[in-house]
Amino acid sequence: MLKILRKEKGFTMIEMMVVLVIIAVLVGAGIKFYTGYIGKSRIDKAKADISTMQAAVESYYAENGQYIGDTNGGDLATIGLSTDMVGIPGTTGATAGKTYVYDQVDTSSYKIYTVASYGGLYVEGTGANGTSEKAGTVTSP
């Protein structure tokens, strides 16, 4: 009698391992791309928020000839800045839970910056004598 040998069909263990390695590499690259994308979008949002705040601060300067002080958080609300988002430096807990800090350097200049860093970068916007600089990234506020 003639025995008919059938060849088993399927994938070998090596083929399965190669496919799994390829999938792992693709997933790893996707995660790295995604986290970079999220970080960039947070920086872009912070720049837009700071630009909006700068417009309010510059409007106050145009009317009063000086920038609003940073000793009383309530003063920030008078120019339309959300005290839930913006804190003032120098007092204990003043920036706790806040996203941004308004710091009056002197009566003719200020800076607004993020409390937390995004990948080691802070977003900061400055202004002096009625002119604001476009918000950008810095390594420390």
- What's the domain count of the chain? 1
Task: Evaluate whether residue 113 is within a structural domain.
Answer: yes
In the prediction, which pLDDT does 116 show? 82
Task: Evaluate whether residue 128 is within a structural domain.
Answer: yes
Q: 99 burial class (0-12, 13-18, 19+ CB within 10 angstroms)?
A: middle
Task: Evaluate whether residue 5 is within a structural domain.
Answer: no
In tens digits, the chain (141 residues) has pLDDT values of 555 656 677 788 999 999 999 999 999 999 999 988 888 898 999 999 999 999 999 999 999 888 888 776 667 888 888 877 887 776 656 666 788 988 888 888 999 998 887 778 889 999 999 999 999 888 887
Model pTM? Answer: 0.74
Task: Evaluate whether residue 10 is within a structural domain.
Answer: no
In the prediction, which pLDDT does 129 show? 92
Domain span at 127: 15-138
Written as one string, the DSSP assignment of 100-139 is EEEEEEETTEEEEEESS-BTTBEEEEEEETTEEPPPEEES
CB 87 within 8 A of CB 104: no
Task: Evaluate whether residue 62 is within a structural domain.
Answer: yes
Task: Evaluate whether residue 9 is within a structural domain.
Answer: no
Task: Evaluate whether residue 94 is within a structural domain.
Answer: yes
In the prediction, which pLDDT does 6 show? 60
In the prediction, which pLDDT does 19 show? 95
Task: Evaluate whether residue 7 is within a structural domain.
Answer: no
Phi-psi group of 10: left, alpha or beta (phi > 0 → left; psi -120 to 50 → alpha; rest → beta): left
